Structure 1
């Protein structure tokens, strides 16, 4: 485990490939949760996430309360810090809210496993239990 002043980061899951384990470690605490930061104020960050079929956003860390909404439908796979792998289907308008207490986080990646572009909008709330991570 790696530690900084606010978080104790986990070791990469054993079920990841060597390449994914190295990426996981390199990206601990990476707050780049979309493919484009569309807007940022003192209160929110608004992200677009667009993945073509087979495309992937690498491991990143969520520490802020946030929600995402699927703009398009499709399917994806995520690998999580606890070793879990989830296959999910999305419909346009699907929305999910997440909240984190002090020192809590989620680390995962996302791969578009479908045959159409997969698009999400994510809104992070910067005033919460944790300070925002760098957006780059």
Structure 2
């Protein structure tokens, strides 16, 4: 049976602006990895994430194995719980797969820094090494 073994969520990097640190503190451990949960079965959760230019989804935490596919192209910036900040240009169809072992996780946000709407589909596998986090829904 999958379980959580995370004792506590780390603090946000001190170099981040106060608003980002507050958002991180309030949302680390939230499993809502998209704008809208569009489907769920006993095996998967399917999320849609759409961000208009300048829009941002707050911090959320991944503990389940998952993949995302960019439905549209665009540019985005993410702040990661380990202090990294990444800016990425996506093309429609770009896909990335992630796996997490027991107790492993990743917390990040995502901001559309491009000039067009940015849309992703994310599929999480509920039979992963970790139990699903609450989605906040």
| CA deviation string 1:69-114 (max 9, x = no partner) | 0000000000000111000000000000000000000000000000
Q: Which residue of 2 aligns with 1:124?
A: 124
Residue segments in structure 1 that go unaligned for 5+ positions in a row: none
Measured after TM superposition, the shift of residue 14 of structure 1 is: 1.4
Measured after TM superposition, the shift of residue 118 of structure 1 is: 0.0
Residue segments in structure 2 that go unaligned for 5+ positions in a row: none
- Report the TM-score, using the length of structure 2 for normalisation: 0.94
CA distance in 1, matches of 2:58, 2:66: 19
Q: Which residue of 2 aligns with 1:6?
A: 5
Alignment of 1:20-39 (within 5 A): 20-39=20-39
Tell whether 2:104 aligns with 1:104.
Answer: yes
Measured after TM superposition, the shift of residue 6 of structure 1 is: 2.0
The aligned length equals: 132
Over aligned residue pairs, what C-alpha RMSD do you find?
0.8
- Report the TM-score, using the length of structure 1 for normalisation: 0.95
Misfit runs of 4+, over 2 Å: none
